[in-house]
A and B are shown apart, each in its own frame.
Chain A
Amino acid sequence: DAEITQSPRHKITETGRQVTLACHQTWNHNNMFWYRQDLGHGLRLIHYSYGVHDTNKGEVSDGYSVSRSNTEDLPLTLESAASSQTSVYFCASSGSLAGGSSYEQYFGPGTRLTVT
């Protein structure tokens, strides 16, 4: 079955370190998204991509970067981790290579990141 996976599921890192969170989908979707979930804020969009080599900033992109070198993966990098980036991170995907939108996003299980 098609799925979307994230790794690691849990990560503890120190302030100032670079961290990369992986997201891999086998839906063959052209759209991929990264969100962070914080109490009282719901899900906020960090970055998104509508295809290979396409990346766009979301609502809370400062301190984060992404790159899209193939259809299946959209890694999220925290250039210099800060305590304010302690959160749960979700990857999602939607759409198809044939174009158009499936009108729904499929979510991964999440990565819980703690910055100490």
Chain B
Amino acid sequence: AQSVTQLGSHVSVSEGALVLLRCNYSSSVPPYLFWYVQYPNQGLQLLLKYTSAATLVKGINGFEAEFKKSETSFHLTKPSAHMSDAAEYFCAVSDDGNQFYFGTGTSLTVIP
């Protein structure tokens, strides 16, 4: 069975500081991995995805994530936080590109 663990339900960073949101997964096959962002009272929007191409994936709004098979991790980073990055972030895994399994989410607060 697949599962996703997001370490830290709440993360706070200062504006301009590095953003690091952690995601570890379990999967019996090479997975597809995704990061989604959710702004208040909205649906989920895709930030980036890993589908067995380059292990360093670049997404929208300056975010990127690195697939590390040996660590079963897919951590999300951004070099410099902006106030507009404050949102809920979800990591998801899929082994067939159809059915997704989501983590419990990480709420990012950006301190001015």
Using a CB–CB distance below 8 Å, which chain A residues touch chain B? 31, 33, 35, 40-45, 48, 50, 90, 92, 94-95, 101-110
Contact = CB atoms under 8 A, between A and B. Distances in A.
Nearest to A31: B98
Contacts of A90: 43-44
Interface residues of B, number: 24
What 6 pairs between A and B have smallest CB-CB spacing? A101-B97, A107-B43, A42-B104, A43-B102, A107-B44, A103-B97
A101 B9 CA distance: 30
B103 A42 contact: yes
23 contacts: A31-B98, A33-B99, A42-B90, A42-B105, A43-B44, A43-B90, A43-B102, A44-B102, A45-B99, A48-B99, A90-B44, A92-B44, A101-B96, A103-B51, A103-B94, A103-B97, A104-B46, A107-B43, A107-B44, A107-B45, A108-B43, A109-B42, A110-B41
B104 A40 contact: yes
Interface string B9-33: 1000000000000000000000010
B49 A103 contact: yes
Main secondary structure of the interface of A (DSSP, over half): strand
**Candidate in A42, A48, A92, A110 with the most chain B CB atoms within 10 angstroms:** A42
Contacts of B32: 103
Contacts of A95: 98
Contacts of B34: 104
